[in-house]
Amino acid sequence: MNAPVLDLPLTRAERLKQETHAQHERLDTGIAGRDPFATRERYAAFVEVQYRFYAAIEPLYRDERLQALVPGLASRSRLAAARLDLADLGRPVPEVEPLPISHREGLGWLYVSEGSTLGAAFLLKAVEAIGLGEDCGARHLAAAPEGRGRHWRDFKEALNSVPLTPAEDDLAVSGARAAFTYVHGLVAEVMGPGK
């Protein structure tokens, strides 16, 4: 006899993953299609995308209400590291207007930003091939001191524990979708046409 299939409800993090899976695929393919590791110039354009994203959402990392929900939130920001990476690469630091993101949608935007540290492990390996690394040009891709897995699990635990109404949960999903759309737009704008 087959074991019964348990129909457990998705956690908030699982739902966010499911609802944005296709967008992640498109983004990943869009970035890869622009050969970000072919030259330092191409990679610098990718870092500018990352910098613009982090700068646009930095107010979330400084928001006291969100800090109360996610322990150590301020220290998770990778904006300063991305700024140093741009300097390492000799690329000017752009002026970025922070986005007006609501508190509830902010959780979805943070999910996208924090989740991007997982893919960063692969990107870091690729960037080493062009002579860069976590001490120069790829500081923002470095793992957290406690390890990428632990860092991500801690975030997911905090995210899953926030008490939200179903309507607020939907807002988190729209925030995550908007974040992927935003980064996709940055890729097209800063990295140029893809293949």
> Which residue, 34 or 104, is less far from ligand HEM as judged by CB?
34
> C-alpha dihedral over 40, 44, 45, 50, to 10 degrees?
140
Interaction residues for ligand HEM, span 97-116 (CB under 6 A): 111-112, 115-116
Q: Least distance from C-beta 2 to ligand HEM, angstroms?
A: 28
- Site mask for ligand HEM (CB under 6 A), range 109-148, x = bound: --xx--xx-xx--x--------------------------
Q: Tell me, by CB under 6 A, how many residues bind ligand HEM.
A: 16
Rule CB under 6 A: is residue 17 a binding residue for ligand HEM?
yes
> Which residue, 53 or 104, is less far from ligand HEM as judged by CB?
53
* Tokens representing residue 53 in the block: 């994203």
